A and B are shown apart, each in its own frame.
Chain A
Amino acid sequence: GAGVSQTPSNKVTEKGKYVELRCDPISGHTALYWYRQSLGQGPEFLIYFQGTGAADDSGLPNDRFFAVRPEGSVSTLKIQRTERGDSAVYLCASSLLSGTAYNEQFFGPGTRLTVL
């Protein structure tokens, strides 16, 4: 079956602009995660959804970042007033369920965001 897909694959924007990054999880996966990977670093957790609700948004760096998952499937990560420091690869992952027993996460190819 299809894996996790993310669009766009690359996004270049100017400082101060608004961007939206989309994630399509694996069909049937109820848990969805967003991570950010800066150059030379491991992915860092941003937020995760169980169904439609954000179960843990403790990794969002500030209030310019927001994510939604209105129907419990596709998710959109929204960044307002982008800054050069937001440049990174944004990774989405999904898992069948959340919780320690089933938390094998499958990752998408990522969206490379560049803020000029």
Chain B
Amino acid sequence: AQKVTQAQTEISVVEKEDVTLDCVYETRDTTYYLFWYKQPPSGELVFLIRRNSFDEQNEISGRYSWNFQKSTSSFNFTITASQVVDSAVYFCALSGANSKLTFGKGITLSVRP
């Protein structure tokens, strides 16, 4: 069975602080994909990144960066210089050979001005 654990439930930071959202996963598949989605107050899930199990390179996209470590089964997400518009619920998700996504419970990020 697949499982995604987001141990943090709520994080509050002041604008311009850096913040890291943790994600730990479990799977028996040798090929799998990891995702991060953002769910702003409007409710629509917005895709942020996909990473496959064979690519452990870290990725940076603007203020966002992702750290994938197979050795610890973690796929953490860092927002640098956070902004109020980053306030949302962030979900980590896992997909194996069967395509369906298994989501974590989400982390509510509040960025205060």
Binding site for B on A (CB under 8 A): 31, 33, 35, 40-45, 48, 55-56, 59, 89, 91, 93, 95, 98-100, 103-110
Of the residues B32, B47, B96, B105, contact of A42 by C-beta under 8 Å: B105
Which residues does chain A contribute within 8 Å of B101, judged by CB atoms?
A: 33, 35, 43, 45, 105
Which residues does chain B contribute within 8 Å of A95, judged by CB atoms?
A: 99
Binding site for A on B (CB under 8 A): 4, 31-33, 35, 37, 42-47, 50, 52, 91, 93, 95-106
Are B100 and A110 in contact (CB-based, < 8 A)? no
Of the residues B33, B52, B97, B100, contact of A45 by C-beta under 8 Å: B100
Which residues does chain B contribute within 8 Å of A43, judged by CB atoms?
A: 45, 91, 101, 103
Of the residues A59, A98, A104, A110, contact of B47 by C-beta under 8 Å: A104
Known: A100-B32, A104-B50. A42 touches B99 (CB 8 A): no
The CB with the most chain A CB atoms within 10 A, among B43, B46, B104, is that of B43
Chain A min CB distance to B106 (Å): 5
A67 to B76, CA, bound (A): 35
Q: 3 shortest A-B CB distances, which residue pairs?
A: A42-B103, A107-B45, A45-B100
* Apart from A33-B101, A99-B99, A107-B45, 11 more pairs, CB < 8 Å: A35-B101, A43-B91, A48-B100, A55-B99, A56-B100, A100-B32, A103-B95, A104-B47, A107-B37, A107-B46, A107-B47
Chain B's closest residue to A109 (CB) is B44
Chain A's closest residue to B95 (CB) is A103
Which residues does chain B contribute within 8 Å of A91, judged by CB atoms?
A: 45
A100 to B94, CA, bound (A): 11
Are A42 and B91 in contact (CB-based, < 8 A)? yes
A99 to B29, CA, bound (A): 13
Chain A's closest residue to B103 (CB) is A42
Supply 12 A–B pairs (Cβ within 8 Å), ascending by A.
A42-B104, A42-B105, A48-B100, A93-B45, A99-B99, A100-B99, A105-B47, A107-B44, A107-B45, A108-B44, A109-B43, A109-B44
Known: A42-B103, A42-B106. A100 touches B96 (CB 8 A): yes
